[in-house]
Amino acid sequence: MNWSFNLPVRLEFGCKKRKELESFIDAIGGTNGVLVCSKTLKNNGTADEIISLSGGKLKAVFSDIRPNPTTDNVNDCVKVMRDTNADFAVALGGGSPMDCCKAACAIAKGNSDIEPYHCGEKAVSADEAIPMIAILVPMAVHSRPLTNSRYFVGIFSINLI
C-alpha cells in the first residue's frame, strides 16, 4: 500500500489562548460564524464567554449534540450553518462537538444532507466546505465556566477549503 498524508494545521496552545479568538477568526477571514458546543457549556456560561470573545462574529449557537453524534445531529447543525449563512464555525468542547462540527463544516455550503457523504455516494468538495476553529475543553471544565479554570485551552484551525 502506498499513500501520502499532509495536514497543515495551525496549532495554538496555552493559558488564556481563548482570549485571542477574534484574531484567529480574522486569520481565516471569518465574519459570520456558528458556535457548536454541548448543552452543558451553553448553560454554564462558557459559550457566552466564547461568543463575547468573537468580536460579534459568532451569530448562532448549535448545542443539540449527542455523545457520538448521529447523522440527524450533523444535519441539524448544517441547517443552522446554512440558515445563518455561516462562513466559519467554532467547535467548543470535546470529541462530540468536534466531530459534529467537522462533518457539518465539510458540507455547509452544499445542498445535501450528510447521508450521501457518509455512505460514500458523494465526495466532499472544497466548494461546499467552511473553515473550523476548535477550542478543546478538558472534561473537568464542563462543570464551571472557563473564566474560573486553571486548564489550558488549545485552539486550532482546520481549513477544509
Predicted pLDDT at 124? 86
Neighbours of 30 (CB within 10 A): 24
Residue 160 pLDDT class (50, 70, 90 cuts): very low
Choose among 149, 137, 24, 148: nearest CA to 89: 24
Alpha carbon distance 32, 128 (integer Å): 16
Predicted pLDDT at 150? 38
Neighbours of 154 (CB within 10 A): 15
Alpha carbon distance 128, 105 (integer Å): 8
Helix (H) or strand (E) holding 107: helix 95-107
Predicted pLDDT at 7? 61
Choose among 34, 26, 81, 89: nearest CA to 55: 26
For the residues 7-22, what does the mean pLDDT come to? 78
Choose among 92, 41, 36, 39: nearest CA to 59: 36
pTM for this model (two decimals)? 0.84
Answer yes or no: is pLDDT of 37 > 60.
Answer: yes
Query: Which cell is 106 given?
Result: 465539510
Do residues 58 and 50 lie in contact, with contact meaning Cβ atoms separated by under 8 Å? yes
Q: How far, in Å, are 16, 80, 153 from residue 103 at the CA level?
A: 27, 13, 22
